[in-house]
Amino acid sequence: MPCSAISGGGSDGNGSLRNFKLNESTFLASLMPKKEIGADRFVEAHPNYDGRGVVIAIFDSGVDPAAAGLQVTSDGKPKILDILDCTGSGDVDTSKVVKADENGCIPGASGASLHVNSSWKNPSGEWHVGYKLVYELFTETLTSRLKRERRKKWDEQNQEEIAKAVKHLHEFDQKHIRAEDANLKRAREDLQNRVDYLQKQADSYDDKGPVIDAVVWHDGEVWRVAIDTQTLEDDPDCGKLADFVPLTNYRIERKYGVFSKLDACTFVVNVYDEGKILSIVTDCSPHGTHVAGIATAFHAKEPLLNGVAPGAQVISCKIGDARLGSMETGTGLTRALIAAVEHKCDLINMSYGEPALLPNYGRFVDLVNEAVNKHRLVFVSSAGNSGPALSTVGAPGGTTSSIIGVGAYVSPAMAAGAHCVVEAPGEGLEYTWSSRGPTADGDLGVCISAPGAAIAPVPTWTLQRRMLMNGTSMASPSACGGIALLISALKAEGISVSPYSVRKALENTSVPVGSLPEDKLSTGQGLMQVDKAHEYLKQSRDVPSVWYQIKINQSGKTTPTSRGIYLREASACQQSTEWTVQVGPKFHEGASHLEELVPFEECIELHSTDNAVVRAPEFLLLTHNGRSFNIVVNPTNLSEGLHYYELYGVDCKAPWRGPLFRIPITITKPITVISRPPLYSFSRMSFLPGHIERKFIEVPLGATWVEATMQTSGFDTTRRFFVDSVQLCPLQRPCKWESVVTFSSPAAKSFSFPVVGGQTMELAIAQFWSSGIGSNETTSVDFEIVFHGINVNKEELVLDGSEAPVRIEAGALLASEKLAPAATLSKIRIPYRPVAAELCSLPTDRDKLPSEKRILALTLTYKFKLEDGAEVKPQVPLLNDRIYDTKFESQFYMISDANKRVYATGEAYPSSSKLPKGEYTLQLYLRHENMQYLEKLKQLVLFIERKLEEKDVMRLSFFSQPDGPVMGNGAFKSSVLVPGKKEAIYLGPPSKDKLLKFSPQGSVLLGAISYGKLSYVEKGQGKDPQKNPVSYQISYIVPPNKMDEDKGKGSSTSTKAVSERLEEEVRDAKIKVLTSLKQDNEEERSEWNKLSTSLKSEYPKHTPLLAKILEGLLSRNNVEDKICHDKEVIDAADEVVDSIDRDELAKFFALRTDPEDEEAEKNKKKMETTRDQLAEALYQKGLALADILSLQPSASEVTEGSKEADKTADSGPGSGVLLERFEDTFKELQKWVEVKSSKYGILSVTREKHHGRLGTALKVLNDIIQENTEPPKKKLYEEKLSLLEEIGWQHLVTYERQWMHVRFPPSLPLF
């Protein structure tokens, strides 16, 4: 049925116009709609009531203070009073304190030396330092633009270096036509490696962005902040710390900065916790600035582009977390409410939301109720963009009683101007995508409607002044701006402001959109009208400010309690039902008992919009304590389809006040499908732009999926349709399937989607509001639905880990169906308990509730290990997938490696992240004011869910016999189910040899199982259960690992004498004591030296002892005399080498051993250990020699006091001897191991450096880094930086330094 009709014609106040044309002024006015809600008329009549004196809190993605129209109000006051990042995504840890040196320089947190401006006052001399990767502050769009521009410059620099490298190679080839000499070959290889390295860098380039240093100090009055942005600038003289104009908390001076001309991104700062936390605030999308512009923008020279309330002021509360794109977080929402109360805001606008499990429920809802009821804030929010089906309103805007939920309306002027359509609609209508009510508990859902599109200001980084956006996100600030006009007027006229009275005025003065009662489910009470609402509020200034709370129960039942009556299922429409309604007048907290509560008494006349369906008492005497009464709803005589009624109460003594409360009654009487096979067709439905057809069907019991066909005809230009299916199930979000279908010409399209048998399904088909505009032809649609179903006795299956199969009973209740089961296990979920739990009170005022209670934080630490790279997702079943409908305030997790590099972050909706092999720490951060709740979560189980690679996915088998999985017989493939006859099959467990090595006992393999395929599926398809129309979860509990069959083998009795064994045990115990000794100070080192010397004299040729002594020397830290220490290492390494018979070792590895011979295998392991000890000794000796070579130009003292002193003396002083010894050591090492491997490669790098072959050294080092699967080692990357600097590739030095901050941050970021 059409929902585009508006009562009346001509040019009434809701923007409905027939056959109108735009001129320049009406076009500009349509870009920022105000006429539709009467805001333009109101401000014209009351110029000083344009929002002056009103403060609006914008809960959104952040507001840019440099955006057009957001600097001052219409009366010259600052537009934006404060800008806050409530999420913490811009927080910088500035707890590190440094002092300036005599040159006025301080060490920045990034490692850069920063020069502070001598004119900056800092009485304490203490500078707090921190740093931030600047891309973490930017939106994805801005980051992408910067990456493109930076890549272009980087490519130019890299190409220049490639050209130089190729030139050098060419010159070498010209000079040495035949390079037969080994050294010449190596020299050419080095030049070629340089060319190759530069080319590979171009392929692997991944810009992580510049690092900015931040400095915080107290100037004796306020905290000051300066930012060093040199890394963002092309000019080395720009962006220096000393040239930065210091900022302080935005609310104090209302100043902002811009990072650089390239990004054009505005930022502000706030300092918390005595300088320990710096918040750098940027926006995480243009959305918030656009919203603020709609509500309050002021353009002195372009008044037609003003926001609705240009005189209002704003505080920006960023609730969209930049770490999550722009997703809101519980922390952000709570801090935003704290800020709104602290700033004594009059209004809150929140254009955010999502579907919810429970309406009017949750921690955030509780805090909102307190803000509205106690602090008298008017809270306005978007209803959602999930229409056109019913019951699609989102939380919190459409589901919370204390919030004014706003739907999105489009007028003909908006369509023609802002949307630039060929031909405007004849009348205004609700946007197709605007969410509809009622809520699951029967509340209307949408309160009022307002214009849902505007061309409004956007941040400067977008490189444009304004932009078109549409959505209920735009309707909400339009309504909020209109309410700001009302509050401005009330304050000026001395009338008390109450969110209760404001809401009542809006609802009772709105202009209906559409002529049918059920249109209210789309538009609420209609299009708000500011001027009429103002008159209403003036007339009711002496009326008590009361909210009439409605609680409804079906008679005889105490639960569930609802806010309306929603008869949706077929069974509820077959007889009359009686309901008990409790009306409770609620005053604002703090209302006087004697002056307001006791005298309150109202004579209420009850009205039903249709007494034949809804019968109620005629009158009600209502006092402060409330009153209950019964009503009867009789839907039995109603036709199939949607019906909407209201029961409302009017003050007998003041009927002009209109309805004081409304009880919505929504009835959807479904069609019953009786044909078999179950099929239903809707023929020749006619569509015009914006038209919606709603069909309610009782899904037959036994149906599990639908196959539908949509045939269109009778049109010329392209048509776009929304096709939605919605079912409501208890304590679930609406079961919604949706599709947007475009027909470029008449055609047929097929769909399939799951359904729940026995539940009413709404099928909503809508032609998009602007689709087909300009064409006079209607679209004809035929829609056919065929229900299919295979019913099983167990929908979600659990395999217990035993060899026994699970019996499944399947049947088809509706029609014959092909039973073709498919099951796979594609994920593994491993449980973890915390290894640490830390509970603390949050110190800053941004975490202190209006009730003065401090919020507490619980940080849980989990450890997990990946044996190879994998895609993982953390799961906390208790908390996940709920933001608004949870009693817990907030959750946030962070996954990092041993180097503190953060790989993934997330909140209520965890996402999968690709992690390389290694060990990881996951920190889960939970917040609440109640310590007892958090204490209960100290052992919270968390799952790491890992997606299996395609090769590891397990396809399960089905059998017709219970012994099938073991015997291998009776395999089941498919059969045909006949109605009335059930069939049983067995699902076998996965083969034990297919279980993955990383499947520990207690973990769960997860997957899906399906039983039927689409009737039109091609042969061979349908093997993936998740691609079939209906699938269910299947899980397999991993059993204990099988006993190791090899365990216990090889424990043959030793042939050694007892005395010999005892002597070895004593020796090994002494070595163990040596390795346990610490060497942190001189005294401990002296003790270690004494014991090592004693053991060496006792066991002079025992290689394991000598290897441990070498290991002990290498473990020493803070060595003062590096050369002396290197000498000790060389001597210790020589002792290890001399203790080994290398000839015998070489002979052994030249022969093959019999793997079946236990003694031979034992000896092999022993010899391999000896070889490793030899290689390690040679490797460490080589490093020590190289170290001395770099530290001491003359080699005359290298071996003084060592065993080879006489040899060195004979050779004479000079580095040549040292190099010769180094080469000898290297060549000896080459005999035993691969010297370019990740374990020994550093020695190869060092050798190439000493020979001046930096390109080859870089190649070897890069290979080591790539082969090393463990967490990156910082020293390898530092060596890489050193080589790049030595070569002179400055662009790569800068690039690698930026990556150092990603790979090796000094600490984990703040939550």
Mind spelling out the 3-state secondary structure of 503-540?
HHHHHHHCECCCCCHHHHHHHCCCECCHHHHHHHHHHC
CB 429 within 8 A of CB 513: yes
Structure tokens at 507: 């609802």
Q: CA-CA distances (angstroms) from residue 876 to 832, 833, 891?
A: 10, 11, 10
Angle between helices 1290-1303 and 140-175 in degrees, nearest 10: 130
CB 806 within 8 A of CB 797: yes
Residue 772: name the closest of 686, 702, 704 by CA: 686
CB 1311 within 8 A of CB 890: no
- Give, for 1291, the enclosing helix (H) or strand (E): helix 1290-1303
Q: CA-CA distances (angstroms) from residue 221 to 122, 123, 151, 580?
A: 10, 10, 43, 62
Report the C-alpha gap between 1255 and 1278 in whole angstroms: 16
Residue type present at position 463: L
Catalytic residue among 473, 498, 752, 1215: 473
DSSP string, 877-921: TTTTT-SSS-SS-EEEEEEEETT--EEEEESSS---EEE-SEEEE
CB atoms within 10 A of CB 1148: 17
3-state secondary structure of 456: strand
Report the C-alpha gap between 1184 and 207 in whole angstroms: 36
| 1250 noted as active-site residue | no
Per-residue burial over 99-120, b if 16 or more Cβ lie within 10 Å, else e, is ebeeeebbbbbbebebebeeeb
Would you call 517 exposed, middle or buried from its count of C-beta atoms within 10 A (0-12, 13-18, 19+)?
middle
DSSP state of 850: T
Report the C-alpha gap between 664 and 1216 in whole angstroms: 96
Angle between helices 287-296 and 472-492 in degrees, nearest 10: 40
Report the C-alpha gap between 667 and 648 in whole angstroms: 17
Residue 549: name the closest of 382, 405, 373, 406 by CA: 373
Catalytic residue among 128, 287, 588, 624: 287
| 287 noted as active-site residue | yes
pLDDT given for residue 1215 in this prediction: 64
Over residues 574-607, the pLDDT tens digits come to 999 999 999 999 999 999 999 999 999 999 999 9
pLDDT given for residue 1152 in this prediction: 75
pLDDT given for residue 1214 in this prediction: 53
What are the average pLDDT values for consecutive 10-residue runs of the chain, which has 1311 residues? 29 44 88 96 97 98 97 97 97 96 94 94 96 96 95 94 94 83 88 94 92 96 96 84 96 96 96 97 98 98 96 98 95 97 98 92 95 97 97 96 98 94 92 97 97 97 96 98 98 96 98 95 97 97 95 92 96 95 95 92 96 96 95 96 97 96 97 93 95 97 95 93 96 94 95 95 97 90 96 91 93 93 95 96 93 95 93 94 92 95 95 93 96 96 93 93 86 90 93 79 93 77 83 93 54 69 87 88 87 88 90 85 87 89 84 74 84 90 86 49 39 63 87 85 87 91 82 88 94 93 92 91
Please provide residue 1115's backbone torsions phi and psi, each rounded to the nearest 5 degrees.
Answer: -80, -10
Report the C-alpha gap between 954 and 948 in whole angstroms: 9
pLDDT given for residue 1049 in this prediction: 47
* Helices (H) then strands (E): counts for the chain: 27, 59
Report the C-alpha gap between 58 and 386 in whole angstroms: 22
Report the C-alpha gap between 137 and 283 in whole angstroms: 8
Residue 16: name the closest of 37, 43, 47, 42 by CA: 37
Over residues 1219-1234, the pLDDT tens digits come to 888 888 888 888 888 8
Structure tokens at 854: 């401090």
Catalytic residue among 40, 60, 531, 1134: 60
3-state secondary structure of 1227: helix
Over residues 141-166, the pLDDT tens digits come to 999 999 999 999 999 999 999 999 99
CB 210 within 8 A of CB 187: no
Report the C-alpha gap between 391 and 820 in whole angstroms: 35
